[in-house]
Amino acid sequence: MHAGCRIEQVYLCRAPVDFRKSIGGLSVLVEQELELNPFGSALYVFINRQRDKIKVLYWHRNGFCLWLKRLEADKFAWPKDGDTSAQTITLQEFEWLLEGFDLWRNSPHKTLHFTSVS
């Protein structure tokens, strides 16, 4: 997001939000609905009902930053569960989400656990 801003976590707000909300409304939502610290070193990601816009809220040193991305001809993949909790993803997964990858339909290879080679 901002050069020099250290991001440790990315939280997706699963339920769509009213995009008329700005910094004040979204920071209250983070604190009261998601029960997270809006001043932490994290990105708080929100989606609109049509899933064609994403807002990202984060704290940088002495103030909030709000970032918006609007898709012109597509929709963002989003977790199916529409409750009011947050889902944690990595910064790499967030970048993939912005590029259009569906993190919930694709899964990695299964982890195998062996006890011997023969």
- Per the structure, how many domains does the chain have? 1
pLDDT (tens digit per residue) in 55-101? 999 999 899 999 999 999 989 988 876 666 888 999 999 998 888 88
Q: Does the residue 73 lie in any domain? A: yes
How is residue 35 written in tokens?
A: 């029960």
Q: Does the residue 56 lie in any domain? A: yes
Instruction: Give the residue numbers spanning the domain of 39.
Output: 9-99
What is the spatial distance between Cα 18 and Cα 11, in angstroms, rounded to a whole number?
17
Q: Does the residue 22 lie in any domain? A: yes
At residue 102, does pLDDT exceed 90? no
Reported pTM = 0.83
What is the spatial distance between Cα 98 and Cα 92, in angstroms, rounded to a whole number?
10
Name which of 7, 89, 6 is nearest 47 in CA terms: 89
Do residues 56 and 45 lie in contact, with contact meaning Cβ atoms separated by under 8 Å?
yes
Q: Does the residue 113 lie in any domain? A: no
Q: Does the residue 107 lie in any domain? A: no
Output the pLDDT for position 80. 76
Q: Does the residue 112 lie in any domain? A: no
